[in-house]
Chain A
Amino acid sequence: NAGVMQNPRHLVRRRGQEARLRCSPMKGHSHVYWYRQLPEEGLKFMVYLQKENIIDESGMPKERFSAEFPKEGPSILRIQQVVRGDSAAYFCASSPPWVVAGELFFGEGSRLTVL
Chain B
Amino acid sequence: GDSVTQMEGPVTLSEEAFLTINCTYTATGYPSLFWYVQYPGEGLQLLLKATKADDKGSNKGFEATYRKETTSFHLEKGSVQVSDSAVYFCALSPPGANSKLTFGKGITLSVRP
In the complex, A2→B41 CA distance in Å?
Answer: 10
Count residues of A near B (Cβ-Cβ below 8 Å): 30
Cβ of A4 within 8 Å of any chain B Cβ, yes or no, is yes
Q: Which of B32, B36, B43, B106 contacts A101 (CB 8 A)?
A: B32
In the complex the two chains form, is B99's CB within 8 Å of A99's CB?
Answer: yes
Give the number of residue pairs across the A-B interface with Cβ within 8 Å. 77
Closest-by-CB residue of A relative to B6 is A42
In the complex, A104→B46 CA distance in Å?
Answer: 7
Cβ of B89 within 8 Å of any chain A Cβ, yes or no, is yes
A residues with CB within 8 A of B: 1-2, 4, 31, 33, 35, 37, 40-45, 48, 56, 59, 91, 93, 95, 99-109
B residues with CB within 8 A of A: 4, 6, 32, 34, 36, 38, 41-46, 49, 51, 89, 91, 93, 98-106
